[in-house]
Amino acid sequence: VATIQDVAVRAGVSTATVSRALNGKSTVNPALVHRVITAARELEYEPNGLARSLRRQETAVWALVITDIQNPFFTSVARGVEDGAQAAGYSVVLCNSDENPQKEQEYLKVSLQERVAGVILWPTSVHTDVSRLLEHDVAVVTIDRALRGRSVDAVLGGSRSGARRGTRHLVAQGYRRVACVTGPSGNPAADECLAGYEDAIRAHPGGDGDALVRRVPGQVKEGYAATIDLLAQPDPPDALFVANGPLAAGALEALAARRLRAGRDVGIVAFDDAPWTRLVDPPLTVVSQPAYDVGRTAARLLLSRLDYPSAAARTVTLGADLVVRGSSSR
Amino acid sequence: VATIQDVAVRAGVSTATVSRALNGKSTVNPALVHRVITAARELEYEPNGLARSLRRQETAVWALVITDIQNPFFTSVARGVEDGAQAAGYSVVLCNSDENPQKEQEYLKVSLQERVAGVILWPTSVHTDVSRLLEHDVAVVTIDRALRGRSVDAVLGGSRSGARRGTRHLVAQGYRRVACVTGPSGNPAADECLAGYEDAIRAHPGGDGDALVRRVPGQVKEGYAATIDLLAQPDPPDALFVANGPLAAGALEALAARRLRAGRDVGIVAFDDAPWTRLVDPPLTVVSQPAYDVGRTAARLLLSRLDYPSAAARTVTLGADLVVRGSSSR
DNA sequence: GTGAAAGCGCTAACAA
DNA sequence: TTGTTAGCGCTTTCAC
């Protein structure tokens, strides 16, 4: 493996000149630039990013820590982040915390040790601790998490208002017992979702509170089980508000297993406008969050944070849209 | 930001001792270990991974370069890789090449410059060049790509045989004009898929070759357009074999738009056993690849490659299963 | 415009 | 068992 030394020797110049030439500094004789580039190519020289970052005391890498890579919503967010980063010359490494606070902490530690320039974090819980990162001057942007204690930049996806709108819509369609299937307590997105649901329900008494709420890990299997459980109650719900796409897939499976038809028998509205939601019969009414824009915005916030490290923290809230389809009417 | 120096001063020892203590070397006085650890905590010391890797000439990071993070199949592969890596103490960074050879090349370059320990690569095309990595002694494992030129470890997902089985199944069900919607030419998975389709079709003449084949980027929108196009032909197909989940979602949308019912009007079999494939009506017949195991196996191959850099290249082939549901019978 | 040399933070000989 | 020291590969003053 060739080093900058080898290139310098071959080109008959000093390592300083090689460095300058390869980094496009204008103060280098064109003839030398040419010799350096030729030598580098001949030796198949690849600059050592570790050494460069160590010396420069900065890296061109962001970490994006998300909770569930299986959820299509996150993958759209990831694209938004990536596009924003790439445009500014940063690479993004994706870390999947898998809803596991320990894994999350591990990835945050690695991010810190590898001295990434910034972290975009979808926290597994409101207890996730980022103070360590902040103290080490790593820029942090959180997604879907209200500020608490230390103020950090955040982009909020409108989970609460979206859940409120979705639930209200079900009530307006004449459903009387609307249940809610959402993620674990402490999970910011899940908490927001529940809060929005409760906003809407409080205005329309008739529910019996927690009997109609199920909090489970946000995967297909759990959505199925929670729905089966809800339907088995003495006084089962006649509608469901569901916090994400995988949970919704599980809920629909459960309805099918119980020979219930979405809409006619049990109204259902869910977060995440995944491609398949239009394919099921009846098509699924969804609350659509601007996933790509969330990612793009997070990238934007991170960039300006890197430019102005001591600026006041900003929060950007994006709106969610209700897309009415067949699953929310009889 | 505290360095090992600061810790050494505070603990009243040399940096060497700090390093040894923090890395759990057994040859250090327990009392000193305690002092060092206390000092490190008090200073909120975080080791600088860049400096460590530079000195050790090795990193504990793998790059996983995939072509489409939106495809659920890849996300399962990613989990398999991650689990295998984590068990051995490696972190995995995910790079999304987005079917774009340029982006892919960029990520491979970054991997090389950051001196990752190994790369697991799902290539965008058979032309993807990994020689640079190999020359720099970066371990490489490819997924779903037959060896060409340089021999590298590979795990094959059984795309060809799966496509063959799926297509044969359609023929056996009595469909006469089976079309194929697959990814771009050069994309290894797409090529394998087409090859399997052709294996099956050749045995049952009656098709007219390329008129029934559509090669498009593997996304929902393209699947829709390709299917609309196929159906608009003078002599349209009565069945479809589709190369991945997103394409299949698009194909189903197209059928719905043309008021055709899957199975009865147009038989359809697709790769990827996504959760939603059971929810559509009729449920989708799929070829199911063992995605998680593919990832797990790739991790295993990479680990043994790291242990034995000069061993002969290995290829592991995993089988695909045909899951017959309603969309492939009248 | 170019080179010599220092040093980023860490680990691993080698000495003591 | 502990400390001293060299050096990983690069960038960047500071002289020239």
Using the CB atom, is residue A27 less than 7 Å from strand C?
Answer: yes
Using the CB atom, is residue A178 less than 7 Å from strand C?
Answer: no
Taking C1' of D12 and every protein CA, the nearest residue is A16
pTM: 0.90
Q: CB of B257 within 8 Å of any CB in chain A? A: no
Long-range contacts of A256-262 (CB under 8 A, 24+ apart): A256/B279, A257/A224, A257/A228, A258/A228, A258/A231, A260/A231, A262/A326, A262/A327
Is residue B165 within 8 Å of residue B322, measured between CB atoms? yes
- Burial status of residue B102 (CB atoms within 10 A of its CB: 0-12, 13-18, 19 or more): exposed
How high is the mean pLDDT of chain A?
A: 93
Judged by DSSP in three states, A239 sits in: strand
- Put simply, the chain A residues between 298 and 327 with a CB less than 8 A from any chain B CB are none
From the CA of A110, how many Å to the C1' of C16?
37
Averaged pLDDT, B4-27? 95
Is residue B50 within 8 Å of residue B56, measured between CB atoms? no
Check whether A209 has a pLDDT greater than 80. no
Place of tokens 């028998």: A265
* pLDDT band (50, 70, 90) for residue B41: very high
Using the CB atom, is residue B228 less than 7 Å from strand D?
Answer: no
How high is the mean pLDDT of chain B?
A: 93
Question: Which residue type is seen at A75?
Answer: T
Using the CB atom, is residue B22 less than 7 Å from strand C?
Answer: yes
* pLDDT band (50, 70, 90) for residue A70: confident
Cβ within 8 Å, pair B136-A46: yes
Q: How many CB pairs under 8 A join A and B?
A: 129
Q: Which tokens belong to B122?
A: 């799902």
In this prediction, residue A203 carries a pLDDT of: 72
Using the CB atom, is residue B23 less than 7 Å from strand D?
Answer: no
Check whether B197 has a pLDDT greater than 90. yes
Cβ within 8 Å, pair A78-B69: yes
Using the CB atom, is residue B32 less than 7 Å from strand D?
Answer: yes
Using the CB atom, is residue A55 less than 7 Å from strand D?
Answer: yes
Taking C1' of D6 and every protein CA, the nearest residue is B55
Which pLDDT tens digit goes with each residue over A169-189? 999 999 999 999 999 998 889
B chain contacts of residue A129, beta-carbon cutoff 8 Å: none
Phi, psi values for residue B247, rounded to 5°: -60, -40
Give the strand pairing for B321-323 and B285-288: antiparallel
CB atoms within 10 A of CB B203: 11
**CA triple B259-B261-B266, angle to 5 deg:** 110
Nearest CA-CA partner of B274 in A207, A209, A249, A135? A249
- Say how far apart CA A101 and CA A104 lie, in whole Å: 5
For residue A136, the chain B residue with the least C-alpha distance is B1
Which pLDDT tens digit goes with each residue over A25-53? 988 999 999 999 999 999 999 999 999 99
Check whether A88 has a pLDDT greater than 90. yes
Could you say which residues 53-112 of protein chain B have a Cβ atom less than 7 A away from any atom in strand C?
A: 54-56
Check whether A207 has a pLDDT greater than 60. no
Taking C1' of C9 and every protein CA, the nearest residue is B51
Report which of residues A221 and A209 the model is more confident about. A221
Give the strand pairing for A153-156 and A315-317: parallel
Question: Which residue type is seen at B198?
Answer: E
| Nucleotide closest to residue B20 (CA–C1') | C11
- Put simply, the chain A residues between 89 and 148 with a CB less than 8 A from any chain B CB are 91, 93-96, 98, 107, 109-110, 112-115, 132, 135-137
For residue A252, the chain B residue with the least C-alpha distance is B279
Q: At what angle do helices B4-11 and B15-22 cross, to 10 degrees?
A: 100
Cβ within 8 Å, pair B46-A136: yes
Averaged pLDDT, A89-101? 90
What is the DSSP annotation of A54-116? HHHT--SEEEEEES-TTSHHHHHHHHHHHHHHHHTT-EEEEEE-TT-HHHHHHHHHHHHHTT-
B chain contacts of residue A295, beta-carbon cutoff 8 Å: none
Averaged pLDDT, A218-245? 96
Q: Which helix (H) or strand (E) holds B62?
A: strand B61-66
Averaged pLDDT, B236-258? 96
Which pLDDT tens digit goes with each residue over A109-153? 999 999 999 999 999 988 898 989 998 989 999 998 765 666 899
Q: CB of A54 within 8 Å of any CB in chain B? A: yes
* pLDDT band (50, 70, 90) for residue B204: low
Question: Which residue type is seen at B71?
Answer: N
Residues facing residue B150 across a β-bridge? B148
Q: At what angle do helices B4-11 and B30-42 cross, to 10 degrees?
A: 120
Judged by DSSP in three states, A199 sits in: helix
Is residue A72 within 8 Å of residue A288, measured between CB atoms? no
Residues 6+ apart with CB under 8 A from A16: none
Check whether A206 has a pLDDT greater than 60. no
Check whether A287 has a pLDDT greater than 80. yes
Is residue B279 within 8 Å of residue B252, measured between CB atoms? no
Check whether A85 has a pLDDT greater than 70. yes
Check whether A224 has a pLDDT greater than 80. yes
